[in-house]
Amino acid sequence: MTQDATAIKTIIGLGEILWDIFPDAARFGGAPANFACSTAGLKTIAAEVYMLSAVGKDSLGQQAIQALSDHDVRTDAIQQNAKATGQVNVTLDEHGSASYEFAADAAWDNLSWSDSLADLAAKADAVCWGTLGQRCQPSQDVIQKFIAATPPDCLRVLDINLRSPFWNPTVLKESLPMANVLKCNEDELPVLSEVFEINGDDRSILLQLKQRFGLKLVALTRGGRDSMLLHEDEQTRDLEISQLPAIPAEVVDTVGAGDCFTAAIVLGMLGKMRLTDLHQWACQVSAYVCSQSGATPTFPADLSQP
């Protein structure tokens, strides 16, 4: 199956749904859910965006489903089970950077497989998942089965999300070979370097990861410093490298900025954007998220039209 740039795409966030409990309020979140909301909010191509996860049969679960619907994310693949909807206590330092304390054995830890998930996987043009969503075996099994069921040309985006103690080298070693796009940050890249026994500077490590796993694109974000994309042209096989400084922003909090960066990458790749244009846009939208409270703000029109 060859992707048609004019066809309606199917894009899926896969993994945890939870509520970020900030000092002043509770806000909807979870990296794949943030990705899904940002993708739907920025939607520069014709696409249906789904979230595949689980919530509890509680008020937070109903509010999560409503929050996704309000962001124009389809909730057909949201399961409900007897566990509580996920929560995480968020604390912010003086720079707005967040740290997290996750509740155990949440609804999203207990995904179950169904024929409808196989049908969704079969039509996927892009799916984004991470490591945190695989902290428990039931969901790890479903996530990996779903990824394996996607078409060969689907963008399979692994957005590393290493939240101690909820990851181990085995999860990385199982997940990265399933991906064809990798996104990581400056704290996660040294872990990848150690797990896969790769040495060198950041660019060299990214290049080696790209070559070893046959990745179409590798992205590295380094907070307020810069970001780097490595991409191989599908026709010429030429390697493109883009490195851009972070766009200055008056930071309110950084929650969701990386997920929005990933959303822009996916939309840009599906929309066949030039790498430099895609990268500049990803920097702009992630800077905007940093300037807003919470992970899934509404985007101004000029940011959804790169």
pLDDT in tens, 5-17: 568 999 999 999 9
Give the N- to C-terminal CA distance of the chain in Å, as an integer: 28
**From the CA atom positions of the chain, what is the Rg in Å?**
18
And the tokens for 265? 């990458």
And the tokens for 59? 């008020």
pLDDT higher for 264 or 256?
A: 264
Share of the chain above pLDDT 90, in %: 74
What pLDDT shows up at residue 251? Answer: 84
The amino acid at 35: F
Across residues 251-280, what is the average pLDDT? 92
Res 4 pLDDT > 60: no
Going along the chain from its start, the domains and CATH numbers come out as 9-295 (3.40.1190.20)
Spell out the residues 6+ positions from residue 226 whose beta carbon is closer than 8 angstroms to its own. Answer: 243, 244, 245, 246
pLDDT single digits (tens) 231-262? 987 777 789 999 999 998 888 877 788 999 99
What pLDDT shows up at residue 296? Answer: 78
pLDDT higher for 295 or 81?
A: 81
Spell out the residues 6+ positions from residue 46 whose beta carbon is closer than 8 angstroms to its own. Answer: 6, 7, 8, 9
Res 290 pLDDT > 90: no
Q: Residue 130's closest CA among 116, 144, 117, 120?
A: 144
pLDDT single digits (tens) 178-202? 999 999 999 999 999 999 999 999 9
What pLDDT shows up at residue 97? Answer: 76
User: pTM here?
Assistant: 0.92
Q: Residue 226's closest CA among 281, 283, 290, 306?
A: 283
Q: What is the DSSP letter of 177?
A: G
What pLDDT shows up at residue 181? Answer: 98
pLDDT higher for 302 or 56?
A: 56
Name the band, by pLDDT with cuts 50, 70 and 90, for residue 105: very high
